[in-house]
Structure 1
Amino acid sequence: MEHSRVPRAALTNSRSFYLTSDGSGKSDTSYCAQDLCNEDSDSEGSEDSRDGGSEYGDSADEDSLVNPMYRRDLKSLLSKDWNLSNVFASEKHCYHATNPILVIRDVGVVGLPLSVRDVNAVKGAAVRSNSGEAESHWQGVWEIDASTISFENPAWSQYLKESVQHACRSLGIRGTTGRIRVALRKLLLLSSDSWVAPHMVIPATGGHFATVHIMLPSRSSGGLIRIKHGGECKEYACGTRDMSRTTTLAWYTGVMFEMDRVTDGHRMVLQYHLIDRTSSIPPAISHEVLFTEKIHSLLVPWKADSAVPEKLVYLLHPQTQDHNGLCGLQLHDARLASLLDTAVGQLGFCIGIATVVFKITGRGFPDCQDVHDDVTRQWKEILSRKTTIHDVTTLDGTAISSQLEFIKGDETIPWDLCKGIEREECKSTSWSLNVRARCERRYERAALIIWHPTTEVARLFGPHSLLATCKSLSKITLDTPKEDAHDALITDAISRCSDNPTAMVDAVCHVAFVWNDMSLWDRAITAAAEVAGISVFADLDKLCTAISKFGLEHVQTKLQIGLKHERGAVAKLQLLVELDQRASSSCPADIAAAVSSWAKVQAKDIIGSPETMSSSEQPTTLLLLVLKFGMQNLFIHQAISLADSQYLIELTKVILATPTLEDAYDVYTLAAAALRTSAVCAPPISQTWLLNDVSPQGSLENAKLFLRCLRKTPELCSTVLHKMTAVSAYGLSQLHAYALRAVIPLLSHVGETFDGNLLSHPPIVPAIRALFDISLQNPPYIFPPVLGFDNEVEIYVTALLRVAYKNGFWDAFQSSFDRNAERLSANPSVLQTFLIKLMPAGAQADGPNSQTHFLAIVPKLLMTYIGCQEVREDAGRIALVIDRCLLLSRFGVEDRGALHHVLAEVLPSTDPSDDYLHNTLLPLLPELTVLAAKHNSYDTFAPIFQTTLLAWIKLLNRLPPHRSRLEDLRLIDLSNWSCSCDDCQRLLMLLKGFVSGKTTLRRLTASKLAHIRALCKKHLPQGVQYVDQADFIEFSISNDGYTLLVWKAKFAKRDQALTILKQEDAVIRRVLGPHYDTIMAGLKGPVAEPSCQNEAGNSLQYGTRSRPRPGLPPSTLASVPAPISASTSTSILAPASASSALEAGEIRDEDDSGPRPVKRQKVAQ
């Protein structure tokens, strides 16, 4: 029993049916299913959207071929409503269907479900067919003519339309727009003993092609319906005890129909006829014959015309599953492809199937389909479309090509394959991580490809191809009579052997085995072996069958032909090994022994051939195959005699990688033989080397291999190492790469492979020193790390020290370092990394670098490092050096004058320059304060503190030029700015960060200009000029004002350098020594004069004047000129007001912004 349901989504957007009358004057209740096409399209994936044109509605005007007739006609033909499903009947059950409110003239309304009273009333108005009437197939059935029937429920017409739509789809009817008329013929009442005799359903009127029975809710038993066509039978058990079920049964005319007796109850049936009114292709069970005639007549002129495309791509529906060939197509598409292949086979056209991939890029709406259930809303904007064709196969799945090029329009149906594809469901979606809401969606559809008979594809895969001939030969069995046609096919297949030797051998040898024809097998093998070599023997089962049938002596001659034409030794030995194994398992013992003996003879000849030792062969596979025959000694001997160095190296690697082989063979002999050809050299480095380049690895691995194999021979190891130092032809960047990528890994390998005796051997020592020299002379030059690159300096130093710490290497490393220290000074970052790695910041270090022996190099390293100009100008680096100098004593290492040398380099012999004072000495004071407390070395740093502070005091009392003009210049104070809008915030940032004498605020409207102008008039002093234009305001300050601003900013950070003054008084006196009074008095500075207001109420500040403070001897201040004070918010000595003025000798380390000072210190007068 068949069951099917119509999706509710398919039963929408219907229109009401209309009434017509036939010629006899009887009124037929009928309607035209005008919306069938559109509804089918919505529910079936646009299946019928090609009606009257292509799927996307492209017109013939788009065709651009020299002769576009063939494409246009083929599109029209394939787009017609062909029924290729071969479905001749269908059934649908619906529970709680619409009640039609059936009204019969002279009876009235018939209630549903059907009751006994209503049954008797219907019988009273009906006519019963008599069982004795031979011309009637319906026996014992009560009938009422349609003219006496009406339906009072308006919703019944919608239900009827939906039922007819489902029946049409189930019967394979497509494109029903305006074509189908539904006519009610009779009301049938079946009771006990009603039955239908077997008969062929014939059309009742012109255009009648199918019948639909709607069985209204009623209770009955029996009455099994059988519908037969073409040897197939379908049975429908329409009897039911469920009185809520409505059943719709439809079948084509031309089928055999019969029904068993109804055994109990009653069954009421509405009988409708489906009538085709307009179609040029009338609906039928199958259009295969008509389709074949039409397509054949179309392709005959196309074949004869040379001005045509070589192929046409016809778009199908999406594939149902990931299978090649017909298996992956939807049912209608699969039948269309099969029928098309049969129809065009005689003409030589080739039919293929492919997957069309569409990639659409644009801005989309994430999860729109899930949220709104609407695929058309997935895209906000489409930016690009790309269409490609992949996985082209024949109908049986044989691969033709992985991709297919095509000409849009000239070779595609529809014109643009990608048009409208975004309305379908996508296969996958990928969202961009960089661009918001941008994504790429992938869609897939199947396609038919039709190749012209003159194309290469049609020659190789078409109906007249070698493959087609081989398929015919493969069908020959013992029961197939031998005919002359078979000989013609065999001759044709052998003559075209070059097209596909393997397919020809399989087919012809199959016939030879069936006919037991040795000569035929000889013909096939001889022809194929000359073309394809031993690949024709890939099927070992058939080869063993030939040996059993025709004998080994006969078969081996053909095998030797294949071996002769095969160049690869691996392939030959592989065949011999597999043949030996297969024969031993599937052939009799005597045949298997003969095959094994013959295979060993052939293998020996192959191994002894010079071609076997060529670099194109694979030593790994060869050695494994040779082991199968036990000829490894012969193989290695031949390799040493005939192979080149690269081959020997690869063979040595294979032996070393196999523990069982390493003990059995003397790899020293292989390595020595390879070394004689000078295979080892410095690895090639690209001229355009990048940090992540690993090109040296190939030659480096060879060198490691030689050192491992030759470790018992120091002279040869020394030769290998010296060859790796031949780098004179390298440029600077190449040397940097070579030191990190090749030399350091090689030294590490040497440390792991060589023992102490070998490392101290006279030929080895200079080679290792030379490798260390290369490493230390060519450190990386990128520092700090660049985005996208590794920290090469960190990697380099870590790797080099790891090697140097190995037993026996430190002395060579230290001597090399001493020789190349000056050269390393060109790269201070490398020296700094060495310093950090050798001596961590902690009091003690872990690991081998904590040993005194390894730290002996540090003093030399420190003095070299401090000798770099950029190090001496960097306070942080100077502090690092001083810290490491003081740490040496904790490790028990003498600094050898390193600290004295460092301090001498830092402290100039004369007064320091202003830049050196500001950029180096002053920032160094906080660092020294920390180090002095850490190491208790105040006395050591006292000269630096005293020199720096005295120079600072002297610099503070030097005024900028034009002092007289600066005294009256009002400085900018923006603390009272009364607006915080965006434009004011931009203006404040500009005014606070004056980097030149002018700045401009742009992109201002007229209202914003007025707003900014009012605030500038209120808050800016006269020293700042501003001029407003159409949409911007330009601000300027005089040269003197700008000079003062720079001066103020330059000295505002001096308080950060005076952290030493936060120590106890005894410590301060200890550090400042005899200069204590002078420094303390000079740092206090003059008293700031009170500020005044300008006309606008702005807070203004003038230059201060120096005057003696109470309690300070005039003689003390006389020796130190009074400096210009900075802003009270930045100076630790300047008072905030008269009430909080400092007493003589008092200093503070905080400003006076808080309610009271945090810390006070009294300095003795």
Structure 2
Amino acid sequence: METSVNRGSAPPKDILENAPIDNAAAEEAIIDASSTDIRGGMEKVLDGDFLECYKGSFAFCRTYRDAPNPGLSFSFNDIGTVGLPLSTREANAILSAIPGSPFTRVEQSDLDAKAANGWELDGVHAKFVYPEWKTYIKRIVDDVCAALGIDITLTKPRHKLRKVILCDPGSILLPRVQSESATTSTAFATITVLLPSFFTGLVAKLSHGHTSQAYDLSEKTLYTTVLAQYADVPCSTTPITSGYTLALSYDVVHTTATPRPSLPTDLNAVEALRHVLISWKQADRTMAPDKIVYLLDGYYRKNPRASVLEGVDARRVKALRMLAMQCGFRLGLAHLEIERCGTADDHGPRHQCLEYNESDTEEEDDGTVDDFAGGPDEILATVTNLVNLDGTLLLEKLAFDLDNDHSIPTDIGEAVAERDYCTREYEGYQRDRYGGGRAGFLQLGYHRTVLVIWPQFISLEMTFDDDIDSAFTTLRKADSARPTETEHALVKTLVKVAADGRRRTHDIARNLSTVAYRWFDLSLWIRVVDLCGPSHAAFVLCDGLVSAIQAFKFGAVRTTFENMLRSAQSNAHRFGFLDTLADAEDGICNGDVLPWLTGQRAWALENLAAPSEEDPSVLLSIAYKHGGPACLRDIFLHQLKENSSPDFLLSFALCIWTEKVQKSGLEDDDSVTAALVAALLRAAVSKADFDVPVEVTPPTGSDAVPSLKPSPAMVIRYFDACLQTGNEALVDDIVDRLTDTSRATPSSTGSQQTRIRVQCVLLPLLPVLGARLQTRPSGAPPIPGVDKLFEATFQLFTESPPFGLSKSDVDNIVETCVLYGGSGFLAYTVWPALMTLPPYREPTMLAFLQALQDDLHRIPLSDAAPTPGMLATEVLKLIITEAGFNRYPTSHYDSKTGRTGPSQDNRSKAIALLRLCVKHGQTGLCSAVLARMFDRSFVDSDYIQKVLVPFIPELRQFLVSNNISPCDEPFDMVFTSIVKLWATHDLGPKPANPPDSILANLQRNACRCRHCLDVFDFLLRGEGKTRTFEQLGLPKCNHLATQLASYAPGAATWSVTRGFHQGLEVKKADVLYQPLRWMTAQAQGQAILRSVSMDQNELQRILGDSYQELMNTLDGQPDTAQRTTHLVPTAATASGFATGAGLRFSSDTAVPLVANPAPAPTSASQLPGLATRESRKRKASQLETGDVIDLTTMSP
């Protein structure tokens, strides 16, 4: 049996253009237990439980051009109805109304940490003016349920607006499917409606198992676009690049007692299919099928494509399409025609049939014969009109053999016969001349649609490697002087496959050139040269050059040889081409060939191709064949300077130097070689781009993705090359290039480029360079430019735009001082650069302080320079000075969360700084921290009650944790000062007791109604000065007013409040209120003293001379003691810190450092310490002598 095969019809498009390939997903790991029965495994999965996993899609996206305007407005402001499409003006109007509104930023944990947060508003605050919107949303819910495969008659879904989302540039739209409502037992899907807006960006990617789907939401921004997915389907989006978008997020809720709709959780069938596809892709080509033809249930006669498939065919192809794209396979639809031929089951007319039975139906006598006697004799299959899933024609006729090709089902020829045939040809019952007869020949045709599956690397026209190899074998066995018709067809097919450029082009070219020599076919050989491409022909056909001369004579191929030579892009290929001809046997390349070779070799030497990374050794070998160092100097050097990359020049210089060291010969040659190396290195340095980005791999375990950044690795290569070859003077050229900021790249300004170079190249370079310098022999001369590099780096550091130093940056800086500069470089170069770098960043200084502490004993001490310990003290002082202490209460607007809240707590900041002082052995600076807490501008009643008083137990716990006595200075005075401030501002002198007459009147009230009891209890014992008794009604208010007028004259005032149900506001008189307030404050004072210490003896030691004074105050006794105690730290005990004096380093005078240095005057000529830090707008909390508070003299 033969099947018609047509390989002559060419596809109109590249056959691999069937569908896009996700290259990242197509890289699978090698499967250990791969499937061996590819066809059987695929049939088992596709015809088994696989369809149950895909009754519907897991996601839905559609643009509605007829969507109505919702007439969206908000209940909390008066901006009116939002105009659509959403413009920048409308978006700004909404944003301007956000402060104080229910709009909030999306929580950071819900978003990609690298993207900004969008704004959210609870759905209850949204209103829709136009009634058409309600009908439209119901229509959307129906469409979504249909796409997700949900039976709305069982589910009876209901929609609920959960959020209104506003996204600005840089933010992402993230349907938060794992919200509090989506994780309940009723919400099963999320619908996000993108209202018409002007924006770009925003691609949504949803995934389920190993399948994923991406939607570009910015394609039709002027229409309403709906994105929906099951509640447990993850969704992520790219940020908006420009404009704004407004979206409505709905929950779709299940309302019946039936199980909530959900995606199938058992994806074993999907995994099994994926396993089969990967096994097929990785299988041995001799064992795996070339393609699989799968019989679909339906027949799609006109314009077959994925969008017209129905039922199980649509679900099967849709799911398989996702997996095929990920695993590197192609899908196509084709027309299958099966012809069943054989002898008909026909016994002739009924009246002549000996076996005629009266019970035979009339239908058996209508002349229709559609069955075979004993089955068909032959079954033929033809597959035509192969199209991709979009309907684009790929092949007019596809080779398919029922016996040898794989199909599902295996007996596809029998399977199609289970349905009615489409065509029938029958020659009828054949009578003979003797009155007998026989059944005629019957041919039945069946037409069906099939799905064709094949790996992406397969060409369906000449499908596989074994086909190509078979063609090679056939051509190699050809021994005729002229090609046969079969051989000619094979050559034509191979030329076409090679022309497509997909695979094995060079193999085909070599084999076809061989038969061209054998057949003396010059035109075929020239076609083969063209197939190789001008840049590859000299290499691919190099072995056959002599055969070409023998077959076609040199005159016929001379021009082609020259084109091959001059088009070659590799010097190795050019000189290999020439050497092949020069090494030919005598008599073959004589005559005109030798002069031509000489001329072409001279041309090749004078016209070197741009060298590649592999060329250094090749060019060196060529040079030594043509004059050695003189050839390099006189012929190669000027060419290489012009057409070579800096990387090649560097590699070539090192290659020449290595050759010189290994084969040191004549002194003249050595001097020429040294000069060559120097010239090549100088050219490389002049052309090098030290800012070229390279891929930086994040640390193991990090969530960061690889990024492209400049790296110091290239600089280190050049530096090492200069030292290795004895060209130390060129280091100065490298430094000049590194510190030259006059040239900016097209993508950045000069200042931006300087910042990137400092952060990514120079700072990481310094410690590496310092380590290299330490390995040099003692007594070695200094390397030119090194000192300039270190100094210029920090000069550029201070001049470049501000950037946050990471911990690794700070570690690099300190390590540089360890390896190179010592304490002098640290004090006179590094510290001024860091200290004057705006804006001040506390994390940077903390990292610097920790790095100093870690390397305190590794940093070499420089003559007449401060020690690292002295500098650590200065850093800590700067941290304390710049710490963010604030008044209370104070608030700030957080742009990330969109909320207004209190600023950083002074107590937490103070404890953190105290802990830092103790950690670094600088307990003397604790007084400076405490002085920041008691800034004069902070202290008022609120600050005392809400900051200072709660600070007492926190400070006490800190002291206990660090084994510090609360009686030690300055902590004892802190406790004393807080208690005194509280006594002055909150307790005050004890007032006189209420007059007995007032108390007696209040107690004489005899009414026992509930309201009278409440009011008079408030007057006698209640807290506060005023209380409102609500919803009494006018009669009860009049009753209370009568009772108060009778029994509370002079004790209170009262008034009736307005409203539907009147109330009574009662206000105590001071003669009654002040004694009660003082008694309450007295109880608080006793609690404050207990928080200082529960031990009276220890409390007395802490409070010292103020103890009795405070006891008398709490007892209400007159204070006769003179208040002379001042808050510590004072200027003296703060070691000069409170006055602003700090360490100042001078390059010519060493300043001795003591534990508590006295204040020193500042001088503009000194290097920067704290006192000479570049002037910036100082905070109100900055320490000054005038800010030290005399707690005992403060008036209430």
Establish whether TM, by shorter chain, passes 0.5: no
Length-normalised TM-score, structure 2: 0.40
Q: Which has the higher contact order (CA 8 A, sep 6+)?
A: 2
Larger Rg: 1
